[in-house]
């Protein structure tokens, strides 16, 4: 059984749980499946164990006892203690930023003869990813999305195109660029005389191994 109080209050009955207590005081309680913890307490918590008549109580508290966590352990199937360390830095791969850089350096991959005029161009409706000119000199407003072009992105592109048609040039094209564009978005683009270009090299790839379950692995 798990109970917590303080900024959040609640409880959950008995069941099989995975409990993680980290060296910095953070505690999280998980079900056997799912990624989200059912209960957690942040760093700098004090963690103590108390033997009771019918179970062992794991008691965590922080903020001078204002936030508490009670986990009653009735049957401990496995207990592992490890002096784990991890000093590796996290590398964030901004795929949409990489798409922007690719388009800046290779506008011909979008369309032959395309020239980039502005990048992140400010207008009252927001920031246009790219303003370009095609081989005939027509303005091309480009909206870049990752991992997929969706209907709401078409609405955003349409606002930018309408701005240009009202203030700059009536002969302006609008283009949604994404690794893949959904069917609904494609229909809306066609209905509004807008275009799409796909960059399949930027599709998100599944990097998971072929192994499908621990049972097969074991």
Tracing tokens 């850089």 back to the chain, one arrives at 101
User: Using 50, 70 and 90 to split pLDDT, how confident is the model at 35?
Assistant: confident
Instruction: Look at residue 63 and tell me whether its pLDDT is greater than 90.
Output: no
Q: What is the pTM of this model?
A: 0.56
CB atoms within 10 A of CB 150: 17
CB atoms within 10 A of CB 52: 10
Instruction: Look at residue 174 and tell me whether its pLDDT is greater than 80.
Output: yes
Q: What are phi and psi of 155, to 5 degrees?
A: -60, -40
Instruction: Look at residue 217 and tell me whether its pLDDT is greater than 60.
Output: no
Mean pLDDT of 67-77: 94
CB atoms within 10 A of CB 161: 23
> What are the angstrom distances between the C-alpha of 84 and each of 23, 25, 174?
9, 14, 52
Q: What are phi and psi of 140, to 5 degrees?
A: -125, 115
Domains in the chain (CATH in brackets) are 2-73 (no CATH), 95-202 (3.40.1350.10)
Instruction: Look at residue 122 and tell me whether its pLDDT is greater than 90.
Output: yes
Tracing tokens 């109080």 back to the chain, one arrives at 5
Mean pLDDT of 56-69: 88
Tracing tokens 């790839």 back to the chain, one arrives at 205
- Rounded CA-CA distance 192/155 in Å is 10
User: Using 50, 70 and 90 to split pLDDT, how confident is the model at 62?
Assistant: confident
Instruction: Give which of 92, 145, 134 is closest to 110, Cα–Cα.
Output: 134
CB atoms within 10 A of CB 72: 15
Could you tell me which residue, 217 or 194, shows the higher pLDDT?
Answer: 194
């Amino acid at each position: 059984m798990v109970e917590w109080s303080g900024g959040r209050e609640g409880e959950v009955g008995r069941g099989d749980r995975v409990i993680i207590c980290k060296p910095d005081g953070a505690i999280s309680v998980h079900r056997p499946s799912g990624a989200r913890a059912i209960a957690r307490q942040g760093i700098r918590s004090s963690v103590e164990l108390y033997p009771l008549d019918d179970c062992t109580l794991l008691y965590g508290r922080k903020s001078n006892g204002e936030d508490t966590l009670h986990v009653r352990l009735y049957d401990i199937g496995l207990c592992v203690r490890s002096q784990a360390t991890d000093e590796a830095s996290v590398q964030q791969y901004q795929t949409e930023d990489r798409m922007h850089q690719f388009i800046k350096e290779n506008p011909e991959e979008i369309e032959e003869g395309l020239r980039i005029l502005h990048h992140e161009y400010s207008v009252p409706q927001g920031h246009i990813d790219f303003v370009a000119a095609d081989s005939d000199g027509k303005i091309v407003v480009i909206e870049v999305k990752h991992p997929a072009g969706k209907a709401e992105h078409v609405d955003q592109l349409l606002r930018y195109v309408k701005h240009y048609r009202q203030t700059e040039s009536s002969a302006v094209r609008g283009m949604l660029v994404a690794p893949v564009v959904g069917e609904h978005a494609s229909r809306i683009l066609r209905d509004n005389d807008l275009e799409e270009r796909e960059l399949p090299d930027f599709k998100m790839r599944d990097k998971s191994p072929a192994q499908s379950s621990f049972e097969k692995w074991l």
